[in-house]
């Protein structure tokens, strides 16, 4: 009996500790996000924003994420076109394949693929960079010199990630939709004119706005998580590796939850466009 009680208390204590750690992490993420926005906005207004660091990070993020994003978008477009084409053939709705393909890619596929690439490629690179600086005590050195690491390192990376995420979403959408168009029209399921007419007739500008808004939010969240884990890395190279792993896993979970929330909010606010 005593053993069972001890085991039960251990489980409860473990869950309590994890809950407390989650609350603390949430608070730190919110604090970092607010401070990053404040520093970035104030620096831009005061014309002391590190544009050189911003451009360097934009190029770095693009170089890291562009090719993997394109390579992921192509099979995504193939899978989408095959599955939607098969379902449309079963119910005799071939004329709507273009609309379903295009709208599905815009609303869900493009932002989601972008978020995974940003969290996996860009986020891991940011976390490893800041984590290495942290364990080498470069972050502490900046603080000693009176320089805010958030102002100098985090804010330019966040602004760069926002821009890169928005642009990558356009690339994902174009690549996936072009691939789906080639597969569907190439197989002779429908003509190219019917495919384009169905997409143009049912797609709305709000679909593109929703995709870009999701990409904006996803890029911000992934960068904040990566920066937080990098700045709190401890324990040398192993600590940096653990921080990168935690950043990627946490980012993917948060982005999936946020994607569901944004989609449901869009459906409730704009039921006619759902």
pTM: predicted TM-score of the whole model, two decimal places: 0.83
Categorize the per-residue pLDDT at 254 as very low, low, confident or very high, splitting at 50, 70 and 90. confident
CB of 33 closer than 8 Å to CB of 220: yes
Question: Which two three-digit tokens encode residue 118?
Answer: 């940003």
d(CA 228, CA 131): 9
**Alpha-carbon dihedral sign for residues 108, 33, 54, 67:** negative
d(CA 274, CA 272): 6
Categorize the per-residue pLDDT at 9 as very low, low, confident or very high, splitting at 50, 70 and 90. low
- Give yes or no for residue 12 having a pLDDT over 70: no
Question: Which two three-digit tokens encode residue 250?
Answer: 């946490």
**Alpha-carbon dihedral sign for residues 22, 26, 29, 32:** negative
Domain edges within the chain: 49-273
If one compares 93 and 239, the residue with the highest pLDDT of the two is: 239
If one compares 267 and 222, the residue with the highest pLDDT of the two is: 222
For the segment 80-99, the average pLDDT, to the nearest whole number, is 71
Q: What confidence score (pLDDT) does residue 2 get?
A: 54
- Give yes or no for residue 123 having a pLDDT over 60: yes
How confident is the prediction for the chain on average, in pLDDT?
A: 80
- Tokens 């998580």 belong to 225
Q: What is the pLDDT of residues 128-146, one digit of tens each?
A: 888 888 888 888 888 888 8
Start-to-end CA distance of the chain, whole Å, equals 56
d(CA 272, CA 150): 42
Instruction: Read off the DSSP letter of residue 235.
Output: S
Categorize the per-residue pLDDT at 55 as very low, low, confident or very high, splitting at 50, 70 and 90. confident
d(CA 14, CA 20): 10
Categorize the per-residue pLDDT at 240 as very low, low, confident or very high, splitting at 50, 70 and 90. confident
Categorize the per-residue pLDDT at 5 as very low, low, confident or very high, splitting at 50, 70 and 90. low
CA nearest to 33, candidates 259, 234, 166, 219:
219
CA nearest to 160, candidates 50, 76, 67, 263:
50
Categorize the per-residue pLDDT at 10 as very low, low, confident or very high, splitting at 50, 70 and 90. low
Q: What is the pLDDT of residues 189-236, one digit of tens each?
A: 777 777 777 777 777 777 788 888 888 888 888 889 988 888 888 877
Give, to the nearest 10 degrees, the angle between helix 155-186 and helix 192-202.
140
C-alpha distances in angstroms, 248 versus 121, 224, 225, 251? 9, 11, 8, 5
- Give yes or no for residue 62 having a pLDDT over 70: yes
- Give yes or no for residue 67 having a pLDDT over 80: yes
Categorize the per-residue pLDDT at 79 as very low, low, confident or very high, splitting at 50, 70 and 90. confident
DSSP H helices, the chain, are 2-45, 51-91, 97-104, 110-117, 123-135, 138-144, 149, 155-186, 192-202, 205-231, 236-269
Task: Write the burial class of residue 32 (CB in 10 Å: 0-12 exposed, 13-18 middle, 19+ buried).
Answer: buried
């Amino acid at each position: 009996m005593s053993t069972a009680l001890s085991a039960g208390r251990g489980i409860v204590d473990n869950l309590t500790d994890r809950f407390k750690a989650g609350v603390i992490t949430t608070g730190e993420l919110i604090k970092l996000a607010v401070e990053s926005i404040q520093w970035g906005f104030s620096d831009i207004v005061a014309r002391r924003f590190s544009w050189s660091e911003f451009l360097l990070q934009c190029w770095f993020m693009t170089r890291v994420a562009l090719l993997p994003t394109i390579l992921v978008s192509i099979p995504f477009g193939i899978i989408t076109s095959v599955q939607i084409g098969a379902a449309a053939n079963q119910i005799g709705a071939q004329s709507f394949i273009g609309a379903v393909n295009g709208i599905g890619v815009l609303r869900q596929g493009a932002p989601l693929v972008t978020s995974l690439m940003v969290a996996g490629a860009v986020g891991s690179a940011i976390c490893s960079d800041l984590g290495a600086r942290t364990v080498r005590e470069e972050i502490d050195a900046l603080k000693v010199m009176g320089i805010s690491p958030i102002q100098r390192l985090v804010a330019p990376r966040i602004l760069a990630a926002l821009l890169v995420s928005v642009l990558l979403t356009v690339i994902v959408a174009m690549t996936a939709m072009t691939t789906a168009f080639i597969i569907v029209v190439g197989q002779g399921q429908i003509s190219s004119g019917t495919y384009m007419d169905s997409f143009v007739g049912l797609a709305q500008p709000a679909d593109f706005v929703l995709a870009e808004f999701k990409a904006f939010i996803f890029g911000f969240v992934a960068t904040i998580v990566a920066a937080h884990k990098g700045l709190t890395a401890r324990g040398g190279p192993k600590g940096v590796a653990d921080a990168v792993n935690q950043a990627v896993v946490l980012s993917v979970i948060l982005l999936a939850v946020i994607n569901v929330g944004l989609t449901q909010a869009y459906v409730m606010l704009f039921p006619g466009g759902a």
